Structure 1
Amino acid sequence: MRTTTICLAQHIGRGFRFQWHLKNKRSIPSSGAAEILAAKGIKICDPKDILSPPYFTYADVPLRQEVEEEELEPAKRPCFVFHERYSPPAGMAQAQHLTNSIVRSTLPQRVLDQMKDNTEEEDLKVQEVIRHSQLMDSHQEKLPRFDDVVNRPGWKFPREWGSPVSRRNKQMSYKLQLLLDQLLPGYTNRHLITNTNSQVSLEHSGRLIQMKYKAPLVLISSNPLSAVAEEDEILASEGESLPDIYPFSPFLHCKKLTQYSDKEFDCLATRRLFPHTLFFHMDMPYSPHNDDTFGGLTLMKAFGHAAAYAKSSLKIEKGNLETPLTLQVVHTTGKKFHIGVFQLNTLDLCGPRKNFFWHLPREALFDACKFKGAEANLEGYNPRIFSLLRALHLQ
């Protein structure tokens, strides 16, 4: 065994203390200014004799200025604010209580009737859209650092460059809509708007709640979607009860705020157009939500946008809408898609009349899309998702 010498081994703490001790002993050299002034007959005074007060200490300075009570603005009414970072711990059942909605574990029959098998050419085009949005985007950003705490704890992986998750999701939804427009060219009265926000305040069991959500893409149309549930079914829903979540509260894990914006706005700036399909994206590398919580998020976001639009544009009588508002929603993580249809019947969140939400369990569009042998490789493609998207587009 060969011995080696340790070169330049230094103790940082000991070196700092040595330098502190060495510099502390240094004296301030005289510049000779005092002697020059004294030789010219100029009197030198001590600053303490001139300044009044001469010095102050930090203890004499208040850390925060005291404000009189009458100068303070009156506090707003406490509000439960539900936003993008909130997820319902009790899942879909909690979202049903917050939105006063009944959930059906299937899509409306008129949507299922429009489903048909894709042709081989259509599947190839969808696969090309997936490859381009996931791998072949020329946009490059510094991506978040990847940590593998199970296999390599404490190891810092090198930073990677590429397209962020939010851009990949938006590119995929946008290109799938372009593909649908190419395959179904008859729908020329529709438009696609991006980066919309909705914010609405409502009453719920004597409390004030606010829902503020974003929609990266919204498909709008000049004609509204017709109601799925007729008046007889809406009246029959008054006898149905919501699932029991006792001992939990519908406001579980949502804090009351006194500082918030009380403005209300919806995703559209004009009243001549109507929302058709909303696209929501979960822009996270790994989705921490199970299927039940993910479905609850979809329901809450759909209700937030529908309530904001209805409150600003539709006629409401005693909390109930004269004409129900129907929206289609697509909530995706990039791989998995959750598709549903929401019908808003009432804004009375504690009344007997209920809203409706039809949905299917979320499914994966593909299993993996990555480079393999310098070639873009797509694994586990599921054609059923595009068939569902086409059925929604045909409504």
Structure 2
Amino acid sequence: MRTTAVCLAQHIGRGFRFQWHLKNQRRIPSSGAAEVLAAKGIKVYDPKDILTPAFNRVVEFPPPPPVTEEELELNKRPCYVFHEYFSPPGGMTQAQHLTNSVVHPALPQRIVGRIRDNSEEEDSKIQEVILQSRLMDSHQELLPRIDDVVNRPGWNFPREWGSPVGRKNKQMTYKLLLLLDQLSPGSANKHLMANTKSQVSLEHSGQLIQMKYKAYALLIASKPLSPVAEEEEIHATEGEILPTIYPFSPFLHLQTTCEIQREQYDCLATSTLYPHTLFIHLNMPRPPHDDDNFCGLTLMQAFGHAAAYAKSSLKIASGDLETPLTLQVVHTTGRKFHFGVLQLNTLDLTGPRKNIFWSSPTETLFDVCNFKGAAANLEGYNPKIFSLLRHSMPNKASLVLSPALVPRAARQESITLH
């Protein structure tokens, strides 16, 4: 048996209690300063006789207002919540029933008639923007894990570093807007609000629904977009029948909840500025949506933002709008683009009058964007997307927004393009 040295181990708790007891018995020695001052004729006072006691003020807040029976019933009422993560399984047909909208499979003629081809210099700048935003960004972070359940099920792929999809989409949209501002020197009064949020509650078939949507940016101006459809065409929608989704419900793939925020707000919170173009990003490395589902998401988010503006800023509680509200929308995954125009005619989601949505076919900005032989490679560039983006913008635009116009609940951020 090997002998070992005994370590001087001590019990920490016992040692702490001993030190506490020892220091507690110590007395503060007198420094003799009081005697020295008294010998010089200086009077010494006790601090308690000079200093006033601490001022402790008890703040009494007013009691909260009593909750009415109507609010109690509203809080108990189940609600269907739609947000940017909701994907309608029924695609555009389900989105039509949820928003009470008819769909035209082409953009309005006032946009299509102005489209022209880009010059070689413009196409060169656009391709440079794509390469800079997709490949030349030096930002690096750990990307989400890759799962290939079809080709390699159960395989644990190594984590990769790079620029996430959301950052790539933001960089590309922002640089395309900068390029538009440079190519259109006459557009000097438009505003661009980034990271917009809206929340609105509506009635649909006796059920309470709430739409909570976020978008990358919203282009606004001091004048609204003129309605695309005239009064006769709006009245003609009362006789149109939406495509059936029987036997499914419009609330397919949703569950009711009572834990929701009752506050309603839009990204502007003012009736002196009007929304023009909404930019939406679908930040998914491999979107599982087909074109019909992707277009349905565009309609849902465009309607959510337009309805929130109508209820919060224009103070329209329900029913038909006296002056229709027109909103343009650009939905992108970074590679695939979808352009649409929504004319909000009514907030009654089950009434005879319907909203109108002009939808263009989805377009692909490029086929391949990668490094090939240590050089940036871009294949299958489509110039039509920038032409649509340029001619769907309002004629007047500058990109400054006062923070006072931003609602506190929405927590917006504004950016300026020079």
Counterpart of 1:117 in structure 2 is 117
CA contact (8 A) 1:315 1:321 kept: no
Q: What CA distance in whole angstroms lies between the structure 2 residues aligned with 1:363 and 1:291? A: 10
- So what's the TM-score if we normalise by structure 1? 0.79
State the AA in 2 paired with 1:159. R
Q: What CA distance in whole angstroms lies between the structure 2 residues aligned with 1:358 and 1:113? A: 15
Match of 1:288, SS state, is coil
Q: What CA distance in whole angstroms lies between the structure 1 residues aligned with 2:349 and 2:145? A: 43
- The Cα shift of 1:317 comes to 7.7
Q: What CA distance in whole angstroms lies between the structure 2 residues aligned with 1:350 and 1:95? A: 13
What is the CA deviation profile of residues 10-58 of structure 1, one whole-angstrom value per residue up to 9, with x for unaligned ones?
xxxxxxxxxxxxxxxxxxxxx9xxxxxxxxxxxxxxxxxxxxxxxxxxx
- The Cα shift of 1:220 comes to 1.1
Counterpart of 2:88 in structure 1 is 88
State the AA in 2 paired with 1:231. E
Q: Aligned runs of 1:189-208 on 2, under 5 Å?
A: 189-208=189-208
Match of 2:278, SS state, is strand
Q: Aligned runs of 1:8-23 on 2, under 5 Å?
A: none
Q: What CA distance in whole angstroms lies between the structure 2 residues aligned with 1:315 and 1:323? A: 13
Counterpart of 1:132 in structure 2 is 132
- Asked if 1:354 corresponds to 2:354, the answer is yes
State the AA in 2 paired with 1:313. S
- Summarize the Cα distance change of 1:315–1:231 in structure 2 as closer, same or farther, 3 Å threshold: farther
Match of 2:80, SS state, is strand
Q: Unmatched 5+ residue regions in structure 1?
A: 1-30, 32-72
CA contact (8 A) 1:316 1:322 kept: no
- Summarize the Cα distance change of 1:318–1:259 in structure 2 as closer, same or farther, 3 Å threshold: closer
Match of 2:168, SS state, is helix
- Asked if 1:179 corresponds to 2:179, the answer is yes
Counterpart of 1:238 in structure 2 is 238
Q: What CA distance in whole angstroms lies between the structure 2 residues aligned with 1:318 and 1:328? A: 22
Counterpart of 1:286 in structure 2 is 286
Counterpart of 1:163 in structure 2 is 163
CA contact (8 A) 2:270 2:313 kept: no
- Summarize the Cα distance change of 1:243–1:149 in structure 2 as closer, same or farther, 3 Å threshold: closer
Matched pairs, number:
324
Q: What CA distance in whole angstroms lies between the structure 2 residues aligned with 1:387 and 1:394? A: 14
Counterpart of 1:24 in structure 2 is none
CA contact (8 A) 1:335 1:366 kept: yes
CA contact (8 A) 1:302 1:329 kept: yes
- The Cα shift of 1:153 comes to 3.9
What is the CA deviation profile of residues 184-212 of structure 1, one whole-angstrom value per residue up to 9, with x for unaligned ones?
12111101111111100001111111011
Q: What CA distance in whole angstroms lies between the structure 2 residues aligned with 1:150 and 1:137? A: 31
State the AA in 2 paired with 1:356. I
Match of 1:296, SS state, is helix
Q: Aligned runs of 1:286-305 on 2, under 5 Å?
A: 286-305=286-305
Q: What CA distance in whole angstroms lies between the structure 2 residues aligned with 1:156 and 1:318? A: 52
- So what's the TM-score if we normalise by structure 2? 0.75
Q: What CA distance in whole angstroms lies between the structure 1 residues aligned with 2:342 and 2:296? A: 12
Match of 2:126, SS state, is helix
What is the CA deviation profile of residues 92-119 of structure 1, one whole-angstrom value per residue up to 9, with x for unaligned ones?
1111011000000000000001100000
Match of 2:243, SS state, is coil
Counterpart of 1:64 in structure 2 is none
Q: What CA distance in whole angstroms lies between the structure 1 residues aligned with 2:255 and 2:281? A: 24
Q: What CA distance in whole angstroms lies between the structure 1 residues aligned with 2:164 and 2:121? A: 29
Identity of aligned residues (%): 70
Measured on the aligned residues, the alpha-carbon RMSD in Å equals 1.6
- The Cα shift of 1:160 comes to 1.5
- The Cα shift of 1:315 comes to 5.4
Match of 1:393, SS state, is coil
What is the CA deviation profile of residues 116-171 of structure 1, one whole-angstrom value per residue up to 9, with x for unaligned ones?
00000000000000001101112111111223344444433332111110010111
State the AA in 2 paired with 1:361. P
Counterpart of 2:224 in structure 1 is 224
- Summarize the Cα distance change of 1:325–1:157 in structure 2 as closer, same or farther, 3 Å threshold: same
